[in-house]
Amino acid sequence: MKTTKILIVALVFLAFGFNANAQMDDCNATVSLFAAPAQAKNYNEALKNYDKVIKECPGESLATYQLAERMFKHFINEGDNSKVADLIKVYELRLQYFPEKTKEGDVLGDIAQLRYDNKMGTTKELYDAFAKAERIDPDNFTSPKSILTYFNLGTELQDSGAMDLQELFELYDALTEKIEGKENDMAKILAPLMEMQENGEALSEKDKKRVAAAESNIENYGKVKSSLNGLLGQRADCDNLIPLYQGQFEDKKDDVNWLKTSAGKLSGKDCDTPLFFQMVQQLHKLQPSAKSAYYLGRLADKDGNASKALEYYNQAADLETNNNDKAKIYYSIAENFRKKGSYGQARSYYNKMVDVKPSAGIAYYKIAQMIGSSANSCGSTPFEKRAVNWKAAEYADRAARVDPSIAGDARSAASSYRQRAPSKGDIFNSGKAGTTVTFNCWVGGSVRVPNL
């Protein structure tokens, strides 16, 4: 009897296993009927089997949703907007069945963008869809197009009275910080590769692709940042900021975060108002910090007290932990030295700025300007004096490559420096083609004279 029971149980498990395997085989076959033509871009044939796959075997293969995304994008690009809802469903199913293999912020942003592009929802509904992507998975909500659309919807809500101006400012600050973070990521990739190129080292094909991708991303994020500034427009002008903050000051003067943000806006726009001094003094009283020290430095600078300003800036740099804000402080210190003609000290602080913010092209640009203006005081011969311009051009080129906002001016400057450098005739007559010229003035370093 016992043997019979064991046999029955074994047969049940065997039958169950057989049915499970049969079901798996059925799903493999079903998915294959869709995937094979989809991989061959025969999308009309693939579509015939798609509904069966997502109905009977939705969790069988991630490839189902990767191929379906391409398929529905193809139909939409061909003008069939009825497939937009299908594409959104693809993204939703992928999130449901393969969450561990899906960047949620990226996909939620794609869904929100599709709905925006196809007018599927109110301004508030669409804004909330992007806000959800940012809230749930900020690290993967990074599409330049989606960031711009998100902020554009915010400006529409603010224009309609559905969003406070202060809330829009906070959104702007958050998105700008995100963009600058991505720019820095790309600039970190680019920096060592640029140095290799400047040293005449050949890049591998892989590194060339990395350079191209980094420069393309920097350009795209630069365009978005410029567009955000344009959309913010007059909303952030002193004429709007000053009365806004004056009206809020008494109620919020003990709110440290409000003081930091508001004083930052007034400082960024160079608003000439006693309110800024009130804010800074109150901030320093409540919580002496990098921010309050920096703003006191700005006020000292404005009053023409350079030494006091430098004292405050150095305090601020020591206290600051946010790299973007630390970069601003280093820039202010560098400018302080540059204006006094202390180029070597200025360069050290511009370099500190680049260390904490690799996408700070303005630092390279300022170094280029200082080097270019030092040509007559560097070198022992006319050839060496003019060769300094090659070094200036190198820095101007770097500025253009990491910061699209100044790329035009930087490229123009680089071209101008090269025109001032030794000509081909000068190189031929000097016999220095292919040699290295070393600079013993504050500029330091060296350049390699081009071969003829």
User: Is 340 part of any domain?
Assistant: yes
Same domain, 222 and 276: no
Q: What are 76-110's pLDDT values in tens digits?
A: 999 999 999 999 999 999 999 999 999 999 999 99
Q: What are 351-371's pLDDT values in tens digits?
A: 999 999 999 999 999 999 999
Query: How many domains does the chain contain in total?
Result: 2
User: Is 183 part of any domain?
Assistant: yes
Same domain, 83 and 190: yes
Of 386, 383, 385, 392, nearest in space to 428 by CA: 383
Same domain, 318 and 442: yes
Tell me the pLDDT band of 303, cut-offs 50, 70 and 90. confident
Distance separating alpha carbons of residues 281 and 133, to the nearest angstrom: 38
pLDDT at 35 over 60: yes
pLDDT average, residue stretch 183-194: 93
User: Is 237 part of any domain?
Assistant: no
Same domain, 149 and 292: no
Neighbours of 186 (CB within 10 A): 23
Cα-Cα end-to-end distance for the chain = 99
User: Is 356 part of any domain?
Assistant: yes
User: Is 241 part of any domain?
Assistant: no
Same domain, 129 and 208: yes
Same domain, 48 and 131: yes
Tell me the pLDDT band of 11, cut-offs 50, 70 and 90. very low
User: Is 242 part of any domain?
Assistant: no
Residue-number span of the structural domain to which 280 is assigned: 252-260+269-448
Tell me the pLDDT band of 188, cut-offs 50, 70 and 90. very high
Same domain, 94 and 209: yes
Question: Considering the entire predicted model, what is its pTM?
Answer: 0.75
